[in-house]
A and B are shown apart, each in its own frame.
Chain A
Amino acid sequence: MIEFRGASVVAPDSGAPILLPTTLTLTEQRVTIIGANGSGKSTLARLINGLAVPVEGQVLVDGLDTRKHGSRVRRRVGFLFTDPSSQLIMPTAIEDVMLSLRRTVRSKDERIKAAFQALDDIGLGDKANVSVNSLSGGQRQLLALAGVLSATPSIVVADEPTTLLDLRWKAHVGALLYALPIQLIEVTHDLEAAIKAQRTLVVDEGAVVFDGNPVDAVAHYRDLMYRKSVGERA
């Protein structure tokens, strides 16, 4: 369970608010976060993994404060970035998954076996010894997901994981994410994907302006964007 208790974030240099005090509890297995660029939705997602920490208030994951128990929170919460290139560190696919396993699997042989299994599970078993630079964008995102899942998190936070992918890979990665048997919090611009969730948050100018049914949330977001574009033209 993820709890935001009056959590807010400001820009470190200017002190400008990025996320206004937010209080909500996320228990649903599929939650999507939508909003315009720069609205604060990525910051909201980053708070869950401890990548960002609130200046005020708290974020709790399974009762653990992300500020005090960052390391334990990150073992529970995997994070998938928009651009997998910056998430992959090691030169080959198998080694990158093994890097994720260093924390939890001490035996090298066990680590190799677990990494192969993780790659097989995601459909990249035949790419184990391939350089990450030779993989396509979609394969890289799958590899990043394999790295995240190999650490057996109970929650995955995905920040626009399909934005850089073509339609085929978007559908494939999206389907894999939605088939995960764990909680998924997905930030997305893909409104078709957003409505597949059980709950959707609409973020605008650093605040959650709608929280509820995905279909209603998407309608609210469209209306909001329409009103803003009309306002800008007027």
Chain B
Amino acid sequence: MYRPGGSPLHRMPTVAKVGLLLAWAIVAMVFSDPITASGMALAAVMLLISVLPPLKPTLRGMAFIAVLALLAGAYQVYRGEYDSAIDIGADVIGLFAASLAVTSSTPMSELLDLATAAARPFRRIIPPAIPGLMFAIVLRAIPEVATIMRQSRDAARARGVNYSPGAVIIPTASRTVGFAIDLGAALHARGIGDEARADTGAPSAERLTRLPEPTV
């Protein structure tokens, strides 16, 4: 999502941005009135626009979250809680927009450094490099899994079994596992598990990325 730029959010230190995002989330949860929530959502959207994020993925993401917000709001309307409907819907949109503004203005490597630094006090429990790396891997895996799913759906259509969920879900699941194994092998080959181990002095990190022998 990151796009280089010169907006105030781009220039702000990563730790301040993430701190601001956390504060935003807390305020959104504490103040549950529709006016505050709507104002914060509007401000978040303006903030997102100010960083000039990549248009297509941003619109796609916002459209998806708007549908979720509508569903959540509709449920509250069904229960007769009109204020909550606006509050929850606006909170969902606002927090998503604020998160997008932060990720669009911050390189992943800086978020990874921050996550690593934040995890350092817990280095006896988990290697500090791991949480940030996990976050990066999750983001990296999303488009890959979406591609695998699209290909599985196309394959199911080509075989004339487009109404069978199993024909899509089973190959998607097995190929996703294959992708995860390959990714683990790549991490291991690049010595990234070794780096995590060096941070703790413990042998656990190498085991995290060590894989079973491949069946060629």
Contact = CB atoms under 8 A, between A and B. Distances in A.
Given A71-B206, A99-B192, A81 B182 contact: yes
A59 interface: no
Contacts of B187: 89
Interface in B187-216: 187-192, 194-195, 197-198, 206, 211-216
Interface string A96-128: 001110110000100000000000000000000
B107 A86 contact: no
B190 A100 contact: yes
Interface residues of A, number: 47
Nearest to A115: B109
A83 B189 CA distance: 14
A79 B4 CA distance: 31
Contacts of A49: 189
B109 A98 contact: yes
A10 interface: yes
B107 A51 contact: no
Contacts of B24: none
Interface in A64-80: 70-71, 74-75, 78-79
A12 B109 contact: no
Nearest to A81: B186
A89 B136 contact: yes
B144 A85 contact: yes
A40 B143 contact: no
Interface string A129-167: 100110000000000000110010000000000000000
Nearest to A83: B182
A41 B216 CA distance: 8
A97 to B, nearest CB: 10
Interface of A: 9-12, 18, 37-43, 46, 49-53, 70-71, 74-75, 78-79, 81, 83, 85-92, 95, 98-100, 102-103, 108, 129, 132-133, 147-148, 151
Interface of B: 1-4, 107-109, 112-113, 129, 133, 136-137, 139-140, 143-144, 179, 182-183, 185-192, 194-195, 197-198, 206, 211-216
Those 10 A-B pairs whose CB atoms lie nearest each other, nearest first: A86-B182, A79-B189, A71-B194, A74-B191, A87-B186, A95-B109, A103-B195, A12-B212, A42-B216, A91-B108
